[in-house]
Chains A and B, each alone.
Chain A
Amino acid sequence: MNLQRVAAMIQRHFYLYQRSPPRIMEIFFWPLMDLLVWGFITIYLQRTQLNLPRFVLFFLGALLLWDLLYRAQQGISISFLEEVWSKNLLNLFVSPLRPCEFLAALMTISVAKMLIAGLASALMAWWLYSFNVFVIGVALIPFTLNLLVMGWSIGIISMSAILRAGQQAEVLAWGLGFLIQPVSAVFYPVSVLPAWIQPVALALPSSHIFEGMRLVLETGILPYDSLIKATLLNGVIITGAIAFFYHTLRVVKDKGLLIQRGTE
């Protein structure tokens, strides 16, 4: 791993964002829209005597955490697409940059995107609804780390799919995260899901994180059990995602698809 090359790739994206107000806006726009819609829904529900316990807390907490996962994923998949769109992929693949360095750079960009968007959303939630996400307490740190690693995994899987299948798979860069949202127990417990799909939910680190979040908010107890499960599952998933990426690279080189991805 050559850190100078990793830094060069990060700098390339820094240049890009520095010059692109729409890209910077995009980081803040969606979380703000989500917060507005969901925040007002929860306020409305509270006022209609549906006196659900800690409703605002649950929803806004879930929303903010979900956005962390989504940003982490996009930090990988969209950054990769930037290279495809600018026909720069071949330039990178004929340079000494190694795939692991490429991944390391994308992961770092993903951390940056997640932190910036996360802090901005947290501030907006506090300002709009006096919701302080830090009431989650120290558990916020392992939650965030787990969401980050899961976001990386989904990002790497969608990137590999785009490498393999080309433009027709580009929608995965945005969509794959939302595909797993219904089974991630983001806004409701796993027990609400039909029995047959519950195993799928429990196999995802995200469901344990969101269950854990609700437990902390409700009882203040640190959900060690959920955290351990999420971490172990994440270990498996990120390993699988990276292996899938390397496997895809081999397939793509064998089928001669790199040049198509780099120039289509």
Chain B
Amino acid sequence: MKQDTPPLALEVTHLTKSFNGVTAVNDISFTVSEGEIVGLLGPNGAGKTTLIQLLLGLITETSGTIHILGMDLKKDRSKILSQVNFSSSYVSMPTSLTLWENLNVFAKLYGIRDYKDQINRLLTLLEIHSLKDSLTRHLSSGQLTRLSLAKALLNTPRLLFLDEPTASLDPDMADKTRTLLKAIRDQYKITLLYTSHNMKEMQEISDRIIFLYQGKILVSGTPAAVLDHFKENSLESVFLKVARGGNAE
């Protein structure tokens, strides 16, 4: 292993996706190193969700290539999927199963060996262990988010995609979830690519921010570098500047 350049978790080259006429992702290239936390920022319709779906192989690209953990997504999708995971506020889980049953099913789908230990560990980490025999339908949205995160960590993913994980959470829960994400990062040394409309969150936990606008990368760098680039003092003002002023730079 080279010492100066850590191995790449993700390598995207000239990725484009058009939906008859609408170019949602427009010739994007970027890389993410292992262990890096990258926040995808951008106004509604910028292409964040489309990009994440492309990276998971849920959408077929119009052109370009995607390499994940050194493998080609086109050729090795199922091998890649066993080492990555995904969660979002817009997915849920069967509500008539208990938390334990739901995680049990996914643990088997991911072929986790010591799945009982792993499930217990995650339920404890996410502070929902006391609910393990409750029906999923009885969870609050914050608890459901935690269950979703537990599912997303079952296979100890090397790369985790989160699409608006903290949407629909109240500020207190969102704050707790952020703390949790940081704990997960520190404990699992995970590579994380996530989206959020919460600027504070982005600034707090991202090593790097990729600012998407109309399907293109407007700027990419550490939160400080992004602020510097736009000569603003908060990501929120950067966001407003871009969203209102169009492609300001």
A: residues with CB less than 8 A from B are: 2, 4-5, 7-9, 11-12, 15-16, 19-20, 82-83, 86-88, 90-98, 250, 253-256, 258-259, 262-263
Are B108 and A8 touching (Cβ within 8 A)?
A: yes
Residues of A near B135 (CB, < 8 A) are 19
Are B53 and A256 touching (Cβ within 8 A)?
A: yes
Measured CB to CB, the nearest residue on chain B to A8 is B108
Are B109 and A15 touching (Cβ within 8 A)?
A: no
9 contacts between A and B (CB under 8 A): A4-B111, A5-B108, A86-B93, A87-B92, A91-B86, A94-B56, A96-B111, A256-B50, A259-B53
Q: How far is the CA of A87 from the CA of B89 in the complex (A)?
A: 11
Tell which of A20, A91, A98, A255 touches B96, judged by Cβ atoms closer than 8 Å: A20
Q: Looking at B57, B86, B92, which has the most chain A CB atoms within 10 Å of its CB?
A: B92
Q: How far is the CA of A8 from the CA of B105 in the complex (A)?
A: 5
Tell which of A2, A16, A93, A98 touches B58, judged by Cβ atoms closer than 8 Å: A93
Measured CB to CB, the nearest residue on chain A to B154 is A95
Residues of A near B57 (CB, < 8 A) are 253
CB distance from A86 to the nearest CB of B (A): 4
Q: Looking at B57, B88, B101, B105, which has the most chain A CB atoms within 10 Å of its CB?
A: B105
B45 interface hit (Cβ, 8 Å): no
Residues of B near A256 (CB, < 8 A) are 17, 19, 24, 50, 53, 58-59
B230 interface hit (Cβ, 8 Å): no
Binding site secondary structure of chain B: mixed
- A-binding segment of B77-85, B170-178, B219-227, B237-245: B77-85
Tell which of A96, A253, A259, A262 touches B109, judged by Cβ atoms closer than 8 Å: A96
Interface size on B, residues (CB 8 A): 36
Residues of B near A96 (CB, < 8 A) are 78, 81-82, 109-111
Given contacts A90-B86, A94-B56, A263-B90, contact A15 B105 (CB under 8 A): yes
Given contacts A16-B96, A256-B19, contact A87 B90 (CB under 8 A): yes
* B117-136, CB < 8 A from A: 135
Are A94 and B82 touching (Cβ within 8 A)?
A: no
CB distance from B149 to the nearest CB of A (A): 12
Residues of B near A258 (CB, < 8 A) are 53, 58-59
Are A86 and B95 touching (Cβ within 8 A)?
A: yes
Tell which of B50, B81, B108 touches A94, judged by Cβ atoms closer than 8 Å: B81
Tell which of B50, B106, B108 touches A91, judged by Cβ atoms closer than 8 Å: B106
Are A95 and B81 touching (Cβ within 8 A)?
A: yes
B: residues with CB less than 8 A from A are: 17, 19, 24, 49-50, 53, 56-60, 78, 81-82, 84-86, 88, 90-97, 101, 104-106, 108-111, 135, 151
Q: Looking at B19, B84, B96, which has the most chain A CB atoms within 10 Å of its CB?
A: B96
A9-B105, A87-B93 given. 8 additional CB < 8 A pairs?
A4-B108, A5-B109, A7-B108, A87-B90, A91-B86, A94-B85, A96-B109, A254-B60
Q: How far is the CA of A263 from the CA of B101 in the complex (A)?
A: 22
Given contacts A88-B93, A259-B58, contact A11 B49 (CB under 8 A): no
Are A12 and B97 touching (Cβ within 8 A)?
A: yes
Q: How far is the CA of A192 from the CA of B25 in the complex (A)?
A: 58
CB distance from B198 to the nearest CB of A (A): 20
Q: Looking at B53, B58, B84, B135, which has the most chain A CB atoms within 10 Å of its CB?
A: B58
Are A90 and B82 touching (Cβ within 8 A)?
A: no
Are A19 and B97 touching (Cβ within 8 A)?
A: yes
Measured CB to CB, the nearest residue on chain B to A263 is B90
Tell which of B49, B60, B85, B93 touches A253, judged by Cβ atoms closer than 8 Å: B60
Q: How far is the CA of A82 from the CA of B19 in the complex (A)?
A: 28
Residues of B near A250 (CB, < 8 A) are 60
Q: How far is the CA of A139 from the CA of B81 in the complex (A)?
A: 45
Q: How far is the CA of A53 from the CA of B17 in the complex (A)?
A: 65
Tell which of A82, A83, A253 touches B59, judged by Cβ atoms closer than 8 Å: A253
Q: How far is the CA of A7 from the CA of B107 in the complex (A)?
A: 12
Q: How far is the CA of A122 from the CA of B64 in the complex (A)?
A: 58
Q: How far is the CA of A87 from the CA of B24 in the complex (A)?
A: 24
Residues of A near B19 (CB, < 8 A) are 255-256
